[in-house]
Amino acid sequence: MTLDWEELLETAVNVVTEAARIARESSQTFEVSTKSSRNDLVTTVDIAIEGLITSRLHSITGYPCMGEEGHSVDSFDGPVWVIDPIDGTMNYVATQRDYAVSVALCVDGAPTIGVVCDVAADTMYTAIAGQGAWRNGEPLGPVPENTSYREGILIADVKELDALPRLAQLVRESRGHRRYGSAALECVEVARRQAAAFVHLWVSPWDIAAAQVICQEVGVRVTRLDGTPLDVRYKGSILAAWPQAHAEVLQRLCIDPT
């Protein structure tokens, strides 16, 4: 069966809606394990949701699936689903808010459809490359082009502030600092004009593939921290920001610190 972009988006939204329901209903009954460190968590819900999403998407579309909790692909040629079953697992475990289910369809490595569900807020962000981005089905407007980081919130973790003293200085000059603990939702904060920039030193494809489409559709610039293009197939840094804020942050971090 060949589906068009709208049908593929609808398929992804339906699966993400089901996954979000499971996350919400399982919030008192999961088990937690650690992965690479004591703060790198996975729950039985992450694994169950990834299983559900990958099997549904694969059976409906036939496309291969990459997911954080164990699904890998041999190649990014053609269409590939990229899944983070819970982005913000620490939040899922510790606070039960600010966690997302994130599903992207990449075509030859380019994120083309993005679905990010802010589960606790019951809000679905969607986008199709070249067609727009939506919040619960309502179009998301463009981000401000000519607004400085000084007029906005900057999002970064303490790891970035420690590693990049110039970023800490930019935060001091801005309207304020936030950190939510879900890279997908942090990108979406920039796309929905709540924050001027998001900086992270080390994101994986599943953290940002879906949010990248949402960002790009509303004019957010998404690059690596040195300004080079962000190829979502590879892990690395991200700078997602409104256009002027992006240029300013880049200038101050990488070109001229004065």
Residues that bind Ca ion (CB under 5 A): 68, 84, 86-87, 207
Which residues ranging from 150 to 179 are in contact with ligand IPD (CB under 6 A)? 157
Provide, rounded to whole angstroms, the least separation between the CB of residue 216 and Ca ion.
Answer: 19
Taking each helix axis from N to C end, the angle separating 5-25 and 44-61, rounded to the nearest 10 degrees, works out to 160
Residue choice 88, 109, 111, 114 for contact with ligand IPD (CB under 6 A)? 88
Considering beta carbons, is residue 20 or 128 the nearer one to ligand IPD?
20
Report, in Å, the least distance between residue 24 CB and ligand IPD. 17
Quote the CA–CA distance of 19 and 25 in Å, as a whole number.
10
Instruction: Give CA–CA dist 23/37, Å, rounded.
Output: 23
CB of 204 to ligand IPD, least distance (A): 7
Residue 212 touches which member of Ca ion, ligand IPD, none, C-beta under 5-8 Å by kind: none
User: How many other C-beta atoms are found inside a 10 Å radius of the C-beta of residue 137?
Assistant: 8
Give, as ranges, the residues between 177 and 196 that touch ligand IPD (CB under 6 A). 181-183
- List the single partner that 88 binds among Ca ion, ligand IPD, none, CB under 5 to 8 Å by kind: ligand IPD
87 touching ligand IPD, by CB under 6 A:
yes
User: Is position 89 an interface residue for ligand IPD (rule: CB under 6 A)?
Assistant: yes
Q: Kindly state the tokens that stand for 128.
A: 């199709």
The yes or no reply on residue 84 touching ligand IPD (CB under 6 A) is yes
Q: Which is nearer to ligand IPD, 86 or 241 (CB)?
A: 86
CB of 32 to ligand IPD, least distance (A): 12
Among 118, 89, 87, 116, residue whose Cα is nearest residue 104: 116
E runs forming strands in the chain: 32-34, 41-43, 65-67, 79-87, 100-107, 110-118, 123-128, 132-135, 138-139, 153-155, 176-178, 197-203, 221-223, 236-241
Total residues contacting ligand IPD by CB under 6 A comes to: 10
Structure tokens at 238: 């991200």
Q: Which is nearer to Ca ion, 68 or 160 (CB)?
A: 68
Query: Look-up: residue for tokens 């619960």?
Result: 136
Separation between Cα atoms, residue 117 and residue 212, nearest integer Å: 14
Binding site residues, ligand IPD, CB under 6 A: 68, 84, 87-89, 157, 181-183, 207
